[in-house]
Amino acid sequence: MAEIIQKDGIWAFGGDALRLTPGRDKNVSVLRRTLGELDVPLGALAGISFEQGPRSGRLRLRLRDGADPLLHATGGRLAETHDPYQLAVEPDRYGVAEYFTDEVRDALLLEQVPNTPVNGYLLPGPRLPLSVSAGDGTAGFDGERVRLEWNWKTEDTKAAAGPRTLALADILAVEWQPSAGLENGHLRFRVRGAPARVRAKYDPNAVELWGFKRDPLMALVAAAVQARLPHPSTAVPPAPPAVEEPEADHDALLRRLRELGELHREGVLTDEEFAMAKQAVLKRM
- Find, among 188, 180, 243, 189, the residue nearest to 210 by Cα: 180
- Find, among 85, 15, 77, the residue nearest to 49 by Cα: 85
Q: How far apart are CA 222 and CA 241, in angstroms?
A: 16
Per-residue CA distances from 243 to 31, 224, 236, 249, 255 (Å): 28, 25, 20, 16, 19
Q: How far apart are CA 158 and CA 203, in angstroms?
A: 7
Tens-binned pLDDT, residue by residue, of the chain (285 aa): 899 999 999 999 999 999 999 999 999 999 999 999 999 999 999 999 999 998 999 999 999 999 999 999 999 999 999 999 999 999 999 999 999 999 999 999 999 999 999 999 999 999 999 999 999 999 999 999 999 999 999 999 999 999 999 999 999 999 999 998 888 999 999 998 887 778 999 999 999 999 898 999 999 999 999 999 999 988 655 445 544 444 446 666 677 777 777 777 767 667 766 776 676 667 665
Beta bridge partners, 50, equal 59
Its pTM surpasses 0.85 = no
Torsion of CA 198, 201, 205, 210, to 10 degrees: 130
